[in-house]
Amino acid sequence: MPRESRKARRERASRIYDLLEREYPEARTALEHANPFELAVATILSAQCTDERVNMVTPGLFRRFPDAEALASAPLEELEEIVHSTGFFRSKARNLVGMARAVLAQHSGELPRTLAELTRLPGIGRKTANVILGNAFGLDEGVVVDTHVKRLSGRLGLSAEATPEKIERDLMEVFPRERWTPLSHLLIFHGRQVCVARKPRCGACVVAALCPSALV
Ligand code: SF4
């Protein structure tokens, strides 16, 4: 197969995006939140856990500890019990308290709006920071690369890389900035419903004609 030029890849990527956008108009983060701080908490809890499970835990958590000030002084044992079902509960509870304390001490209780400041907070890496910036502040600073985005980027021939950082860089190169946040939602929706890990349903896929891995 001839190597695809950058221009051709961008055009193909744009058509893929348009088709997925039409297919999943409801694509957005499934993590329920009322403000940026709640989204930060929910995203920390979502590591190695389903969004549905996180959404079962957060209403009670936010009632008990509604903001950075309350969470900063949360008794660790009580917090561990509340977040227990999301897995890795000890480190998550520790990160939540550490994050809340740092937000309180360094940012007057308000979540910062830059990648550099967010990634300095305990429990927040580049992926979590991108989720917060894109979904709570409407700032497209990067593409969230989770397991679905990683798998689909490879299958769709949008990145041959293996690490989230390099895949993100490839995606940022082929998609315009204003599409970075919705792109990951579209790929996640498609990855959950059609391009599933074990046996992709290529026969039911709206982007099959644009996919080098199509099994149809
Ligand atoms: S054609 Fe198949 S492999 Fe390609 S995106 Fe669709 S479901 Fe995935």
Asked if residue 211 has its Cβ within 6 Å of ligand 1, the reply is yes
Asked if residue 85 has its Cβ within 6 Å of ligand 1, the reply is no
Residue 3: per-residue pLDDT? 83
Residue 215: per-residue pLDDT? 83
| CA-to-CA dists, residue 15 to 87, 111, 156, 210, 212, angstroms | 38, 36, 12, 8, 14
> How many whole angstroms from 79 Cα to the centroid of ligand 1?
41
Output the tens digit of pLDDT for each of the chain's 216 residues.
568 999 999 999 999 999 999 999 999 999 999 999 999 999 999 999 999 999 999 999 999 999 999 999 999 999 999 999 999 999 999 999 999 999 999 999 999 999 999 999 999 999 999 999 999 999 999 999 999 999 999 999 999 999 999 999 999 999 999 999 999 999 999 999 999 999 999 999 999 999 999 986
Q: Which atom of ligand 1 is nearest to 207's Cα?
A: 6
Active site residues: 127, 146
Residues 164-212: tens digit of each pLDDT: 999 999 999 999 999 999 999 999 999 999 999 999 999 999 999 999 9
Q: Angle, nearest 10°, between helix axes 126-136 and 180-193?
A: 110
Closest protein CA for atom 8 of ligand 1: 195
> How many whole angstroms from 152 Cα to the centroid of ligand 1?
8
Q: Which of 164, 153, 216, 184 is nearest to 28 (CA)?
A: 184
Residue 143: per-residue pLDDT? 96
Residue 128: per-residue pLDDT? 94
Distance CA 208, CA 216 (A): 8
Residue 2: per-residue pLDDT? 65
Residue 216: per-residue pLDDT? 63
